[in-house]
Amino acid sequence: LLARGLARADQKGLPVALETHLAENVARYRHFGFEVASDRRLEPDGPRCYGMVRVPSGLPKSPATR
């Protein structure tokens, strides 16, 4: 399902963004071309939130995702 949606985004030249609270998901999403754009805690003692971005295939990555 994810690969199909990413292929459609690539065809349209659209970036894709997501958030995950699980550190182990970061590697999973990197496999699909996502890079961490932000890493923060929602509350001082709360869970971490990883904001991830994927640029369309064939386009250069932005400086924030290098």
The per-residue pLDDT for range 34-61, each reduced to its tens digit, is 999 999 998 999 999 999 999 998 666 6
The pLDDT of residue 32 is: 95
Please give the mean pLDDT across all residues of the chain. Answer: 90
Q: What is the mean pLDDT of residues 8-31?
A: 96
The answer to whether 52 touches 31, Cβ cutoff 8 Å, is no
Number of H helices, E strands in the chain: 2, 3
> pLDDT class for 1, splitting at 50, 70, 90?
confident
Side chain identity, residue 17: A
The pLDDT of residue 60 is: 63
